[in-house]
Structure 1
Amino acid sequence: MRVVDVPWHRVLPALVVGVLALPVSPPTASAATTWVADLSRVDGDDSDVVVERGTVRLAGRGRADVGVPGAGRTGMMVLPPRGFAAPVNRIAAELVGATPHGAELAVDVRGRRRDGRWTEWVEARPGHPAVLDEATNTVQARAVLSAPAGGAGPELRRLSLTADATSTTPREGEEETSSEAGGDKPGPPASFRVYATREGLVGGKTANGHIIAERDHFAALPSRRGLAPRDTGDYTVSVCADSGRCEWAPVWDVGPWNTKDDHWNADREMWQDLPRGKPQAQAAYEDGHNGGRDQFGRTVRNPAGIDLADGMFWDGLRLMANEWVTVTYVWTGSGPRGTVNGDDVITVHSRPQVIPETENGMATPRAQVPIECETTGEHADGSNKWLRIGHERFVPRGRVDVTGDVPPC
């Protein structure tokens, strides 16, 4: 991505000087395609941005980052997916805009995988086009506008994107799952032990524009790479307490502490000196990493690597205080999965029976859950069919939308 800044006190257009330099390897699957994004209107997927005289700005004072106190304000414009006749995996971005001191204009892109899931969002940075880990015929982009606490926000006047294909290899430390490589065995998702805190902040707005309700159910991770668009479960986590209770919930906010710490990835966006699975806040708190401070220079007061909404914290996991949990980043694995439907959280059971003694967790509407197999049990939600989503974890088939066949247990 290339952004040209202008002094904030001058009313002059910022001009894009050139085109991003691309790696020397030539496209292997498609010729480059360039298009200009439509920035003329705000729709339901956008959060805390407005369009005024053809310029995208933060709305009003913008959103305070509820999951990252003191980190400033953020707004997002999520663009419609764009299809291509031939697969692409490399996307460059050119921005015309203005970024006052401490502000940021960024572009994240992602691609739809062969199995219908999305890759993680990857930022297209100056001189470094975003390279997706899988070639795709469908790409989506979002513009991110950030302002420092108490500071002026950026302006976005024009966004053009260029997509083509280049040969790539899996990220360092990661291998293709067998299903993606042509096998039939699902690949396991990343799973790590992480310190969890309660987000609270009822009435506030999350990074994707969701208004936080009482006893809400969602999670926040300290990176935009795993931030799902509003009302979707494209990026879902399974969080399990030491009591044995688990909840599957979508990632709808960014935090705590950092905003570019995708600690679940081997190829991290920041803090590459830390081991995979260890949040930077934990390293700062326990080991004095970065002088004991986060990416914003604040002293880290706890080792949190995930925030949980109140309902997930109190009702789903029945936690009484902040504590260590096991987090599974569902989208990083492969294999069959379904999407929880309806408007109410559903109860997970240790057996396919609807009795209190079997309750051992919850699953949130729009969350994506892994599907291991189908079995017969007690009649619930219009059917006696149940889905196993983990060891001794069953949910009624009627509450999960499943694409394709499900093997019997």
Structure 2
Amino acid sequence: MSDYLKNHPDENGYFGRFGGSFIPPVLEEPFKKIAQTYESLKNDPKFIEELKYVRKNYQGRPTPVSFAKNLTEYCGGAKIYLKREDLNHSGAHKLNHCMAEVILAKHMGFKKVIAETGAGQHGVALATAAAYFGLECEIHMGEVDIKKEHPNVVRMKILGAKVIPATKGLKTLKEAVDSAFESYISQADSSIYCIGSVVGPHPFPMVVRDFQSIVGFESKEQFAEHENGALPDNIVACVGGGSNSMGIFSAFIDDKEVNLYGVEPMGRGEKIGEHSATLTYGEEGVMHGFNSIMLKDEKGEPAPVYSIGSGIDYPSVGPEHAYLKDIGRTKVGLCDDKEAVDAFYKLSQLEGIIPALESAHAVAFAMKLAKTLAKDKTILVNVSGRGDKDIDFVVENYPIPNAKF
């Protein structure tokens, strides 16, 4: 583990001034037990071996790093490489922390896991892990996302999960988190909350980052094999809550020569309610039990947000992302709906890879970035998930283009 990862967060769960734990008293003891169990297990040889076995023999890790030759030639600039988390079992990076969180639940003696989901990738991953380990699974999902991400809803149900609609407010990811937390409070003595990103009260931003860091450490070794031992010049990943981006950034934070770009969704425009660009337009605030950067309305409450990618339409962001931007270690990129859809089709038709709409935001920004760089520069993009869940929505709303670019 790098020096940075060893020292962040501090013992109270803070990354600088961001993070912490702002929760009802009823949850203080359960969260304390989760933190203590994680600290005792993370270096335990038996736990590590069990996780290694699952990752290799069930998830199919390591996922490869692929050179996107055709996309690189199309953009005409820097070489573009892809970290293929879409090839992880269940189709996204989410299983990396879900399998580990369910092992954690098993060690704590719990029989049930509860979570929220936006695009459904976390829900599918947790339902998969729960099925594998024989635990009950309860997933909360916004009504809007249930309709939009129907294939993932079906997958969750087939896997045995109970899917509960979040019917308040905008009926998307924030409301799903609200609903899941409300349910968890009444079941905290018999279940564990498995947060789906690097958000929430301590210890979850740390726990999810640590379990996702496998993406970054694999990438570092694999990229070096492609580029004669070199590091990538740039790493690009989408940011909503930020689990896939923290996963791939983790191994490179101490490598100052590597530019780290977190790409936010600009949606349909700059007005409140038209985007989810938290780090770009937000301000400091507490939501869902942690202090970070968040989008606020005129009353100082969490603002309505929007993105074509259901997994990244969140009005806050992981506290570590807020900290890394604050100290100048990471940069923020932007991608709107139109650019994301264009990248969705370009990657599909040039490389034979159908990305999740969330991942398409990262691909779109990488395409723009590549055109500004010399051909001897490199970009590594985290393709955090595959687009099976999005194909019906995309083709119904955006005609399939001619493949002759």
Greater strand proportion:
1
- TM-score w.r.t. length of structure 2: 0.27
Which structure is higher in helix share? Answer: 2
TM-score by length of 1: 0.27
Which structure is higher in RCO with an 8 Å CA cutoff and minimum separation 6? 2
Q: Name the larger-Rg structure.
A: 1
